[in-house]
């Protein structure tokens, strides 16, 4: 008996592939439906906007996308009272991180905003001390060549401009350089022109044997403490009519407040070896020592990591020396709607003001870099 053939036909390979893909899609759809049903059984609230999304809604118009990008990059809520970023920074620091380090701010924020550097330089402190001296004490100061400290200008360190200048300095060569056309060498004549310090060639000796006189002086300034504080040294000036004792204390304060400030609010007692014989003070290399100390502090600043510069940190040295030298080498605009006249009399430290620094910073500010303070557009 003949076997009858089946009624079905053999499907082609392409057709079988399409059927298999359809079966897999149906299975996946059924799995998604089952998962949705399981989630619905949990009775979860519908998803809403996160806190960051709500904050981003407040940024609209020009620059909104850049501000949101900066917020996501640095992980903070933009500068509102009580806001804390994901790293646990205080609101003030997180706001600074946005406007001066990683975000975008206005010109006012760049020129007035908080930046990392802090300085112990205090023109007001030495000016106040000078005004409280007796006529005899003022005569001592004039004899040693520091009578102009009574006329030091009312200014402080311009932090954004100074920080930018420090980043462009080559400390081993004591020079500021942007390119071949913009180079400033901090020579002794330049430092003397700015600070008005005495001219001399004998180097400062900051170490040596502890003679009986050095031990006695250390005990006097330490006052049974671990550090020689500036307020204690100021108290030693009162009613002190002895020339040698008075001038030694005065010069220690002048170094700590103006010429070679450190990162602490203290007197550096290493200078006692240089001031052991006060008759040789005129011969000291004041300009060379101030420059060397400043370049050491600039080098410490340059070695700091980016993370360290995101926080407040102290920088020693006579930082206004950098800013005044840079400002004096700029071809500042004149005869404009916003005009400011700078007095270039010497010593320069007695004739500059905070308005001079601000005018130079505004005129030299690079307008395309509002996210951080960048200068150097004016011709030299």
pLDDT, tens only, 54-78: 544 444 554 555 545 544 444 433 3
Token readout for 230 is 């500036």
Residues 97-118, mean pLDDT to the nearest whole number: 51
Share of the chain above pLDDT 90, in %: 50
Q: What is the mean pLDDT of residues 320-340?
A: 85
More confidently predicted of 37 and 165? 165
* 349, 191 Cβ separation under 8 angstroms: no
CA distances in angstroms from 357 to 127, 155, 326, 348, listed in the order given: 20, 9, 10, 13
| Lateral strand order in the sheet of 182-185 | 169-170, 175-179, 182-185
146 three-class SS: coil
Are 174 and 148 within 8 A, CB to CB?
A: no
Task: Give the DSSP letter of residue 366.
Answer: -
For the chain, the domains span 62-104, 108-120+156-197+287-380, 122-152+202-284
Tell me the CA end-to-end span of the chain in Å, nearest whole number: 113
- Please tell me which of 94-108, 174-188, 295-309 the model is most confident about, judged by mean pLDDT: 174-188
Q: How do residues 260-283 score in pLDDT, each as one tens digit?
A: 999 988 999 999 999 999 999 999
Choose among 261, 254, 269, 267: nearest CA to 207: 269
Sign, CA dihedral 253-258-262-264, equals: positive
Is this structure's pTM higher than 0.85? no
pLDDT value at 98 more than 50? no
276 CB-contact burial (10 Å; exposed 0-12 / middle 13-18 / buried 19+) = middle
Average pLDDT, the chain: 79
Q: b/e for 172-204, b at 16 or more Cβ within 10 A?
A: eebebeeeeebebebebebbbbbbbbeebeeeb
Structure-model confidence comparison of residues 311 and 261, the more confident one? 261
Give the per-residue pLDDT at 334.
76
Distance, CA of 45 to CA of 157 (rounded, Å): 55
User: Is 171 a residue whose pLDDT tops 80?
Assistant: yes
Lowest mean pLDDT across 85-99, 138-152, 339-353:
85-99
Token representation of residue 140: 């001592």
């Amino acid at each position: 008996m003949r076997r009858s053939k089946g009624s079905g036909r053999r499907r082609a390979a392409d057709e079988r592939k399409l059927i298999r893909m359809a079966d897999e899609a149906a299975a996946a759809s059924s799995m998604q439906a089952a998962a949705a049903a399981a989630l619905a059984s949990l009775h979860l609230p519908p998803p809403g906007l996160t806190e960051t999304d709500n904050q981003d809604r407040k940024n609209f118009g020009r620059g909104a996308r850049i501000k949101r990008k900066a917020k996501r990059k640095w992980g903070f809520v933009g500068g509102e009272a009580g806001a804390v970023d994901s790293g646990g920074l205080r609101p003030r620091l997180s706001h600074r991180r946005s406007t001066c380090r990683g975000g975008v701010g206005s010109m006012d924020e760049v020129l007035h905003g908080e930046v990392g550097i802090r300085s112990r330089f205090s023109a007001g402190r030495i000016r106040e001390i000078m005004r409280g001296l007796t006529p005899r004490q003022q005569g001592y100061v004039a004899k040693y060549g520091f009578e102009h400290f009574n006329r030091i200008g009312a200014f402080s360190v311009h932090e954004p401009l100074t920080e930018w200048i420090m980043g462009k300095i080559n400390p081993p060569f004591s020079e500021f350089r942007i390119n071949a056309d913009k180079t400033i060498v901090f020579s002794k004549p330049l430092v003397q022109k700015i600070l008005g310090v005495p001219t001399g060639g004998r180097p400062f000796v900051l170490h040596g044997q502890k003679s009986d006189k050095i031990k006695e002086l250390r005990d006097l300034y330490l006052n049974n403490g671990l550090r020689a504080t500036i307020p204690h040294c100021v108290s030693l000036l009162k009613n002190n009519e002895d020339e040698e004792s008075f001038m030694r204390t005065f010069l220690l304060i002048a170094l700590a407040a103006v010429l070679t400030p450190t990162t602490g609010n203290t007197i550096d007692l290493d200078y006692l070896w240089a001031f052991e014989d006060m008759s040789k003070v005129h011969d000291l290399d004041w300009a060379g020592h101030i420059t060397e100390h400043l370049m050491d502090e600039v080098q410490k600043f340059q070695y700091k990591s980016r993370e360290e510069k995101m926080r407040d940190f102290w920088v020693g040295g006579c930082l206004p020396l950098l800013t005044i030298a840079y400002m004096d080498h700029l071809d500042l605009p004149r005869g404009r709607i916003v005009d400011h006249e700078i007095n270039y009399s010497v010593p320069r430290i007695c004739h500059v003001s905070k308005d001079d620094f601000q005018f130079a910073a505004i005129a030299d500010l690079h307008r395309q870099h509002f996210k951080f303070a960048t200068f150097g557009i004016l011709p030299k």
